[in-house]
Amino acid sequence: MKSSHLLEIDKLNTKIFHRDYTVNAVCDLSLELKTKEILAIIGESGCGKTMSMLSITNLIPKNAKVVSGGIMFNSKELDINNEKELLGIRGSQVSYIFQDATASLNPIFTVGEQIQEMFMAHQCVSKNRAKDDAAEVLELVNLKPAQKYYNYYPHQLSGGMNQRAMIAMAIASKPKLLIADEPTSSLDRITEITILKLLKRLNAELGLSIILITHNISLIENFADTIAIMYAGRIIEKGPSGEILNSPKHPYTEALLDCLPKKGKELNAIKGSVPNLSNLPSGCKFHPRCPYVMEKCLKQEPDFIKISQGHSVRCYLQQKT
Amino acid sequence: MKELLNNKPLFIGILLVAFMFLVAVFAPLISVYEYDHINSESILQPPSVKHILGTDQLGRDLFSRMVYGARISLSVGIIAVGISVLIGVILGAIAGFYGGIIDKIIIILIDIMLCFPVLFLILSIVAILEPNIYNIMIIIGLTSWMGQARLVRAEILSLKEREFILVEKVLGASNFRIIFSHLIPNAMGPVLVSAILGIAGAILVESSLSFLGLGIQPPTPSWGNILADAKSSLGIAWWLSVFPGLTIFITIISYNLVGEGLKKYLK
């Protein structure tokens, strides 16, 4: 395999087992991510974005299981079942940040103490040294003066500040990959942009690769290098962000872009709703909602069709006959 | 501070407990006589200026004996509860965090322990072992951790689903670190309340044991064995039973006040 990729996911399948039915949360998901690349994964709620990312370090719920697929991280095959190996990777190589930063921080410790703990746990440095290091990362995420913010408890800070503290915690041990799971969904528009700018800066300064999970397609225009659109546990279109935003090839991507609110335009919504992952339609999973549905869409799921270098889509409309 | 003054039970409770502690710590300075000083010329004296709480059948000063007894009673209460909190918190946290078969085993253990009538269990163990202060502390601790364990288990069950625990996991914290530096500190509020209420219970158990003669052995004074000595002369020397009884009563009440006040304060 090519070694230029930091992360390579090959045909990952994750299932959630309930007593009388099984949910195919992630289905044949394949992804590549280069070092320093920013990838945005876009999709509606419940389409398996978070599940697929948590599968990388096997942090999925107890009733879920990665049933097949391979993950290469940093040119090394990751063994999903080797808890000890994964413990060495979580936090120090792959970090996550989540939607609600205030709930993500332990309410009874100050943000500084929590960042300090990251240094002590991962780098085994002394307490005083860790404290200095914690102040340093607080500066890095623009919580200045660091000495002041070090002593704040999460409930004393705003959502945006907590998210920055959370980012500080996530990058404390210099991970190679940061997975940001809707990091700005609970924040207002201005804060949202400052957080994304911060992530972009960290990407440039620290060479941090980022996977941004979001459902807000308008955010990522100048942010992501590549985009992957997910629907019903599958990636249905992926490619360079400019290309996807300007000339979407899948009807779903097209519809998503059409949903964006614009001045003087009536709001559009995609007809229907996300299919139930335990009872998926046959053929192409989008066909019940697709305006261009054809007969063969009902029968067989289309495979990836290459549009250009790095841009491919799962739709029969693009098939050249 | 203002909140503390408004919270009357907590405030009064803390004052009373602090007073008891000062008395216990400074016992040698406060007591006028040695607690085991026998004086055949002042047997069964009622309270007077010389002996403010009177004297017992051997002419020992009741006040001095009670002051030294405070040391025994309070230290038994605190150390016994310390042991029970330690066991309860660790077992409860492990049960709540791991769940499954480990949880089931610990729950069964708790249920088995709760089946025993505790006082009789303690009595029979003390009857086999030597009834000294250390054995009594350990035995009370070993037979009273079940409530703590259940409390902590319930707290951990809900805490472990909170988002910051998932975050700790994804950021690479080991199970040990999650349990001991994130879950347990978050569960300490209710544990503290029940521990303080537990001290009252432990003091009561120690007094009962000493009263039955299987607790602290004379001549070392404890409130319980002072009461036990008093029962032979209940009719002629009221002070011998009233003062220790009242002290036990006030101590239990003050710990309960602190516990209840703290419960209100933490909400």
Q: Are A127 and B209 in contact (CB under 8 A)?
A: no
Query: Is residue A53 situated within a structural domain?
Result: yes
Task: Tell me the residue type at A48.
Answer: G
Euclidean distance between CA atoms A211 and A40, whole angstroms? 6
Euclidean distance between CA atoms A294 and A283, whole angstroms? 11
Euclidean distance between CA atoms A8 and A30, whole angstroms? 7
Given the cut 0.85, state whether the ipTM is greater than it. Answer: no
Q: Comparing C-alpha atoms, which of B91, B74, B67, B196 is closest to residue B146?
A: B91
Distance from B168 to chain A by nearest Cα, in Å? 9
Task: Tell me the residue type at A221.
Answer: E
Query: Is residue B107 situated within a structural domain?
Result: yes
Q: How many CB pairs under 8 A join A and B?
A: 55
Query: Is residue B140 situated within a structural domain?
Result: yes
Q: Give residue A3's pLDDT.
A: 55
Low-confidence ranges of chain A (pLDDT < 70): 1-3, 320-321
Boundaries of domain holding A216: 5-93+175-318
Query: Is residue B99 situated within a structural domain?
Result: yes
Within 8 A by CB and 6+ apart from B186, the residues are A106, A107, A108, B155, B159
Task: Tell me the residue type at A253.
Answer: T
Query: Is residue B42 situated within a structural domain?
Result: no
Chain A positions touching chain B (beta carbons under 8 Å): 54, 57, 59, 87-92, 95-96, 98, 100, 103-109, 117-118, 121-122, 166, 169-170, 173
Q: Give residue B110's pLDDT.
A: 94
Within 8 A by CB and 6+ apart from A21, the residues are A278, A279
Q: Give residue A87's pLDDT.
A: 84
Euclidean distance between CA atoms B230 and B244, whole angstroms? 9
pLDDT single digits (tens) A291-308: 888 888 888 888 888 888
pLDDT single digits (tens) A166-214: 999 988 888 889 999 888 887 888 888 888 889 999 999 888 999 999 8
Tokens describing residue A45: 């709620």
Euclidean distance between CA atoms A170 and B155, whole angstroms? 27
> Which residue in chain B has the smallest CA separation from A121?
B173
In this structure, how many other beta carbons lie within 10 angstroms of the beta carbon of residue A75?
12
Q: Comparing C-alpha atoms, which of A10, A154, A204, A7 is closest to residue B167?
A: A154
Query: Is residue A70 situated within a structural domain?
Result: yes
Helix (H) or strand (E) holding A239: strand A234-240
Using the structure block, give the residue that is written with the tokens 């047997």.
Answer: B43
What is the distance between the terminal CA atoms of chain A, rounded to a whole angstrom? 32
CB contact under 8 A, A117 and B167: no
Q: For chain A, what is the domain count?
A: 1
pLDDT class of B41 with cuts at 50, 70, 90:
confident
CB contact under 8 A, B164 and A87: no
Euclidean distance between CA atoms A252 and A238, whole angstroms? 12
Using the structure block, give the residue that is written with the tokens 């500084």.
Answer: A112
Q: Residue B170: its chain A contacts at CB < 8 A?
A: 54, 57, 59, 90-91, 95-96
Query: Is residue A192 situated within a structural domain?
Result: yes
Q: Give residue A1's pLDDT.
A: 45
Q: At what angle do helices B184-211 and B133-142 cross, to 10 degrees?
A: 130
CB contact under 8 A, B164 and A103: yes
Distance from A106 to chain B by nearest Cα, in Å? 6
Whether the pLDDT of residue B28 is over 80: the answer is yes
Q: Residue A121: its chain B contacts at CB < 8 A?
A: 172-173, 177
CB contact under 8 A, B171 and A106: no
Euclidean distance between CA atoms B242 and B230, whole angstroms? 9
Q: Are A32 and A7 in contact (CB under 8 A)?
A: yes
> Which residue in chain B has the smallest CA separation from A166?
B167
Question: Across chain B, what does the average pLDDT equal?
Answer: 88
Distance from B86 to chain A by nearest Cα, in Å? 21
Distance from B59 to chain A by nearest Cα, in Å? 55
Best to test chain B binding among A94, A104, A186 (most B CBs inside 10 Å): A104
Query: Is residue A141 situated within a structural domain?
Result: no
Within 8 A by CB and 6+ apart from B235, the residues are none
Best to test chain B binding among A50, A53, A85, A90 (most B CBs inside 10 Å): A90
**In chain A, pLDDT over 90 holds for what percent of residues?**
9
Boundaries of domain holding B180: 2-35+52-266
Q: Which of A88, A91, A103 sits opposite B171 (nearest CB)?
A: A91
Q: Residue A50: its chain B contacts at CB < 8 A?
A: none
Q: What is the CATH number of the domain that holds A269?
A: 3.40.50.300
Q: Which of A96, A108, A173 sits opposite B170 (nearest CB)?
A: A96
CB contact under 8 A, B174 and A87: yes
Q: Residue A124: its chain B contacts at CB < 8 A?
A: none
Q: What is the CATH number of the domain that holds B166?
A: 1.10.3720.10
Tokens describing residue A187: 């924040």
Q: Are B96 and B149 in contact (CB under 8 A)?
A: no
Q: Residue A105: its chain B contacts at CB < 8 A?
A: 164, 167
Alpha-carbon separation of residue B170 from A159, A309, B9 (angstroms)? 20, 34, 43
CB contact under 8 A, B185 and A98: no
CB contact under 8 A, A107 and B172: no
The DSSP code for A219 is G
Whether the pLDDT of residue B151 is over 90: the answer is yes
Euclidean distance between CA atoms B229 and B213, whole angstroms? 10
Query: Is residue A104 situated within a structural domain?
Result: no
Query: Is residue A17 situated within a structural domain?
Result: yes
Q: Residue B164: its chain A contacts at CB < 8 A?
A: 103-107
Strand A226-231 to strand A38-42: parallel, antiparallel, or no bridges (unpaired)? parallel
Q: Comparing C-alpha atoms, which of B204, B223, B224 is closest to residue B214?
A: B224
Q: For chain B, what is the domain count?
A: 1
Question: Across chain A, what does the average pLDDT equal?
Answer: 86
b/e string for A212-229 if b means 16 or more Cβ within 10 A? bbbbebebbeebbbbbbb
Distance from A56 to chain B by nearest Cα, in Å? 11
Alpha-carbon separation of residue A262 from A76, A249, A266, B174, B237 (angstroms)? 45, 21, 8, 47, 94
Q: Give residue A242's pLDDT.
A: 86
Q: Residue A88: its chain B contacts at CB < 8 A?
A: 172
Chain B positions touching chain A (beta carbons under 8 Å): 162-164, 166-174, 177, 181-182, 185-186
Average pLDDT over every residue of B55-64: 83
Q: Residue B181: its chain A contacts at CB < 8 A?
A: 117
Q: Residue A96: its chain B contacts at CB < 8 A?
A: 167, 170-171
Euclidean distance between CA atoms A93 and B172, whole angstroms? 9
Coil vs helix vs strand at A221: coil
**In chain B, pLDDT over 70 holds for what percent of residues?**
100
Best to test chain A binding among B167, B180, B191 (most A CBs inside 10 Å): B167
Q: Which of A90, A92, A104 sits opposite B163 (nearest CB)?
A: A104
Distance from A220 to chain B by nearest Cα, in Å? 25
Tokens describing residue B147: 């409530």
Q: Are B195 and B148 in contact (CB under 8 A)?
A: yes
Query: Is residue A151 situated within a structural domain?
Result: no
HSE on the CB side for B140, CA within 13 Å? Answer: 30
CB contact under 8 A, B172 and A87: yes
Q: Are B152 and B191 in contact (CB under 8 A)?
A: yes
CB contact under 8 A, B172 and A105: no
Q: Residue A108: its chain B contacts at CB < 8 A?
A: 185-186
Coil vs helix vs strand at A131: helix
Euclidean distance between CA atoms B167 and A105, whole angstroms? 8
Strand A311-313 to strand A234-240: parallel, antiparallel, or no bridges (unpaired)? antiparallel
Indicate the pTM of the whole model. Answer: 0.81
Query: Is residue A88 situated within a structural domain?
Result: yes
Please give, one letter per residue, the 3-state secondary structure of chain B. CHHHHHCHHHHHHHHHHHHHHHHHHCHHHHCCCCCCCCCCCCCCCCCCCCCCCCECCCCCEHHHHHHHHHHHHHHHHHHHHHHHHHHHHHHHHHHHHHCHHHHHHHHHHHHHHHHCCHHHHHHHHHHHCCCCHHHHHHHHHHCCCHHHHHHHHHHHHHHCCCHHHHHHHHCCCCHHHHHHHHHHHHHHHHHHHHHHHHHHHHHHHHHHHHHCCCCCCCCCCCHHHHHHHHHHHCCCCHHHHHHHHHHHHHHHHHHHHHHHHHHHHHC
b/e string for A99-119 if b means 16 or more Cβ within 10 A? bbbbbbbbeebbbbbbbbbbb
